[in-house]
Amino acid sequence: MSNQSMNGFIGINSKQPASVPLAGSGTQSAGRPCPQNPGVSCSNCRLSDLCLPISLNKTEIVQLDEIIERNRPLRKGEHIYRQRDEFRSVFAVRSGSFKSYLLGADGQSRVTGFFMPGEIIGMDGIGSRIHGVSTMALEHASICEIPFSQLERLSHQLPNLQSRFFAIMSNEIVKDQQIHTLLSSYTAEQRLASFLLSLSARYARCQLSPDRFILHMTRSDIGEYLGLTLETVSRVFSSLQKKELLLVKNREIEIKEMEKLKAILCE
């Protein structure tokens, strides 16, 4: 199973580019504090409606909070883990964004997913207990580390937590099926349109602008993920801008015609 950004919240209808939402504020509550911000915990995290605590009551959230380790921030280019590392934990993104990638026997890389705040990283290692991909920060970012052995034990005690984790795993399977369909039957324009629409929806889930955001991944990363060359990705961006569906300024993207961009998937 493969895996599939952002200081201060910006409203969904904001016309400013998305930036990284910090995942907690306020007074300290029960649980392990963040070494950089003691006020951060699951009970006051702004991403709790996206992450594991979504289906838990207050008492259950405190129990989950007690096993979570809030690590130091990661710098751009820093890895959470590398391919073939021993699997020990899953990770919830608190701020920033990440990419996962696979290195082939020939040394060539292929991007397998991108992660944003509230999403879970590291499930590729659950089956074999070895990570099948490497995952690195695309910008300054922070994570919550959840030791999997402790998560398993707690899940047996909290059926709601177990159901939520199964739902997340199910969503990852659906993402895998969607990207397989994307790569096998979509044109280059449809692939890029689908990718941008997916990002838009994920920004909206984080209460960020769905039509204006920053691409923290490179055009090359996007190409690897979509099975396209760098030249093709650049050409399609230019084409969508000429059609006035997008406004592209370096890595800043503004979707001008959301419905027309969606219509491309039906052509």
Domain residue ranges in the chain = 177-266
- What pLDDT score does 56 carry? 67
Strands (E) located in 35-78:
69-70
Which CATH class name applies to 177-266? Answer: mainly alpha
Instruction: Identify the DSSP state of 86.
Output: B
- What pLDDT score does 29 carry? 39
Q: What interhelical angle do 148-157 and 58-67 show, nearest 10?
A: 160
Which residue is it, tokens 């306020």?
Answer: 26
Rounded CA-CA distance 105/129 in Å is 21
From first to last of its 267 residues, what are the pLDDT tens digits of the chain?
444 333 222 222 333 344 333 333 333 334 455 544 545 566 656 555 556 656 667 787 778 778 888 878 999 999 999 999 999 999 989 899 999 999 998 889 999 999 998 899 998 998 899 999 999 999 999 998 989 998 888 888 888 877 777 887 777 777 777 777 777 789 999 999 999 999 999 999 888 899 999 999 999 999 999 999 999 999 999 999 999 999 999 899 999 999 999 999 988
- What pLDDT score does 22 carry? 37
- What pLDDT score does 38 carry? 47
The two three-digit tokens of residue 133, written as one number: 């991909």
- What pLDDT score does 49 carry? 55
Phi then psi for residue 178, to 5 deg, are -65, -45
The two three-digit tokens of residue 124, written as one number: 């590729």
The two three-digit tokens of residue 106, written as one number: 């020939």
The reported pTM is 0.77
- What pLDDT score does 230 carry? 97
- What pLDDT score does 2 carry? 44
How many helices and strands, by DSSP H and E, does the chain display? Answer: 7, 11
Closest CA to 92 of 110, 54, 118: 118
